[in-house]
Structure 1
Amino acid sequence: MDHPFFFITHGFGLGIGMILSLYIFYELKPGQKKNLILALSISSIGSLLLQILSVDHKTYFPEETWYLKISKLIFFFLQASITYFYWLLSKSIFDANFRMRPFHYSILFFKLTITIFIVILVRNNLLGSDLDPDGKKILISFYPILFNLILLILGFFNSIEASCKNLNHKSLSTNLILIGFFFFLQFVFRVLFLETDYKIIEYSIFAFSDGIIGIVCFYFLERNISILNQVYKSNGDHENSFKNIHEFYLVFIREKIYLREGLTIGELASKLNTKEYILRRYLRDNLNFQNFNEMVNLFRISEACEIIKNSSWKSNNDMKLSEYLGFSSGSAFNRYFKMFTGLNLRDYKTTNPEMSLDPRIQKLRKNAEEFFSRSMEGSL
């Protein structure tokens, strides 16, 4: 029977590594998450293929339990991707405008294809035919080890360079270097222990030490996460938002696109020729709406109040009013109406109160009117 020590140490190290990775992904902006997940998936699957092709190397042993097989496979994915992930992170975390470009994917392509090509040559005795099995393993491992070491070094330099350019980034940069050290130990771990038998005592101690370092990394990253948010907030994405503000006034205020049923932030962002996350952040940071749905429904209810006040809609069908405003159902209309006015629709019609516009709507409409006035004056 296996000693619990092996399961505890490996489970601890793997768990901390996964929590740290997920936390970093959570704090990245949407565009970075999508690109990094894609890159890491390709790297992990490619490295798994390399593992299968390698000489006399089993990914897991047949007699192991299913949960141990899955744990080791996840652990392998993390280790196989770790240096590429760190290099990309060091380039993107200080730059809110970072985008994955063909160059980044080409690095990943060469990392995988050349290594797999070497494996095929070795397996067919076209390279290192006079070496014993251990020598062939070293030959196969040499290129990925060198490649990963270069990526780690570049990641360190990117972090140091960021702290030199902006002193406000120094604490975050220091934390990223600490995370790099954590990844470096993972890398050394892969090099020293080619036979990844979880029952080796040194293997277990190393996995436990990884977990401790991971906790320290998580602690410092959590303390500096506000700096990371400032990095994104202070970069140029807001400039892109302001370039489209005239389109926003035209589409949202004058054309009243909020009356369209099922309108999504993605559709509005596409119509404004901007990114969804840029628009979402603009609505939150500049217009002070909690989210897109709050803004749309608030404008719809404001429209409803003006219609009731300035027309004979009091006697008309409420369902028609709900459909006109873009609500999917009468119950949704009534729910939001009471949420924003404090009265249900029937009581509102009876009392006919003077509902004051929400300050955020007042400000938006005023800014839009001023903008259109300036535009008219400029065209004369």
Structure 2
Amino acid sequence: MFALTAFALGLAEFVPIGLSDIMAGDLGVRVQSVGAVVSAYALGATISAPILSALTAAWPRKQVMLATALVFSLGSLMAALANDLTLIVLSRFVAGVGHGLFLAIASSVAARLVGGQRAGSAVAMVFSGFTIALAIGVPVSTYLGGLISWRPLFLVITAFGVLGLIGLAMGMKSDPADRAQGRTSGAATAAALKGLKALLHPRLISGVLVTVLAYIGSFTVFTYIAPLLTDVTGVSVSTISIFMLIYGVLAAVGNTIGGAFTDRLGPDRASLIILIGIAVVGLGIFVFAQSVIAMGVLVAILGLLTFGAVPPLQARLLALAERYTPDSVGVAAGLNIAGFNSGIVFGSAIGGFTVASLGVASTALVAAVSAILGVILLLVQMRR
């Protein structure tokens, strides 16, 4: 059920990336302005994941997850029906609020169910729906967007959100421990305060900064991959869907490999290898942006690494929380989901600035620099 709902979330987060040119033309705005559609969604997830995870720490997990699916579906419907960019951006922020809290709870619950030795695989299972959306839903949506319009595709996202809501309502069992935990308002308040305090723990903050830098590195370039491919590589708009398909398929593979990689090598070493890979790919895209074949290979590897990074980075922060804030592990999961999405927010914003000032090809060079900073920070933390 978690993976089913994550499929809807994956569609919502990444479908607009492949449709950026089409949405810009339909709304009469510049392509870098459409980056706000991606940023607003990620910003909603960034805010909701840690803060609402803390405030709802004592609430029954099933009730919270149903609420997140409902908020996500309503926000997606609003975006599909909105008439201008401002309303679309606002609606996407609302949908992102549901996204962030859902993934935080789902990943922490899954890791708790299987134990620390298999936390990487558990997180990978939750995100499998997310990456399947990338592998199948995003390239199909990119292709259909070129034939029809982007609005019907947003309605499809809404429909999958509702399907996930129904699936959770019917398939997820209520946890007796959750019901007992939520009986008194005093216990709920104490849990919320403890969770909010955990958000400020320096070890967790420094740990999540690695995630932020990794995803700035990836999404500075990927948010603007469509104009990069058309303007620099020289492919047609209809061909972009093939690149999105390649990216999505390798993202799904990377998520699975990342989970196994984490269980075998440990979160720190797995994260380090993947961060180095993102830096190398960024440099490769900058150098070989005019080669169609090279871009096909590099976009595929970028998908592999970007979502291969999810299990080790998430398991890494959960392990830090088990050590330093054991009563607020779910909050730590939310904090790292915020790290993923704030990386997308900053990445798309930095990418937009880079496109306007240096050209779209330079987004790859900026991406590499961010990933290298993440490598340095991670090495410092590992040594400490």
Give the alignment's TM-score, normalised by structure 1.
Answer: 0.29
Choose between structure 1 and 2: higher helix proportion. Answer: 2
Give the alignment's TM-score, normalised by structure 2.
Answer: 0.28
Which protein, 1 or 2, shows the higher relative CO under an 8 Å CA cutoff with sep ≥ 6? 2
